[in-house]
Amino acid sequence: MGRILAIDYGTKRTGIAVSDPLQIIAGGLETVPTKELERWLAAYFEREEVSTIVLGKPSRMDGTPSDTWRFIEPLAGRLRRAWPDKEIAFYDERLTSVIAHRTMLDSGIGRMARRDKALVDKISATIILQGFMESRSRG
């Protein structure tokens, strides 16, 4: 069983989270410049076994795709072509940034650290991954 890797795509930075090999625990892994994402993934996949890639599906509150969806859909196609052995899944990422900020506040992270957008992206990816894993376990 391979790890599950979650991607919180952004036009500048992309947050990445990954599960443990048994797919029980989600953890923030990295924030990479988006232009380097696919190269970073290739290097990571050489080192670690990943069975599923979860992309945050950006939606508006009414459920319609947000403007960022126009980047996510082509990315999913490129990932399917580059790594046909990996499942590509989507998970609704509405409010993940809000939840990430709240999590940072609740954990006592200082004001300057909360301004670190890379940290927010990594936490958002972790929230996407955790939600995906919980929804999968519920069936």
| For the chain, domain boundaries | 3-138
Give the model's pLDDT for residue 83: 98
Burial of 22 (0-12, 13-18, 19+ CB in 10 A): exposed
pTM for the full predicted model: 0.85
**Answer CATH for 3-138 from 3.30.70.2170, 3.30.420.140, 3.40.50.300, 3.40.50.720:** 3.30.420.140
pLDDT tens for the chain, 139 residues long, are 899 999 999 999 999 999 999 999 999 889 999 999 999 999 999 999 999 999 998 777 787 777 888 999 999 999 999 999 999 999 987 666 656 656 656 666 666 655 667 777 888 899 899 989 988 887 6
Give the model's pLDDT for residue 93: 77
Alpha-carbon gap, residue 123 to 104, rounded angstroms: 9
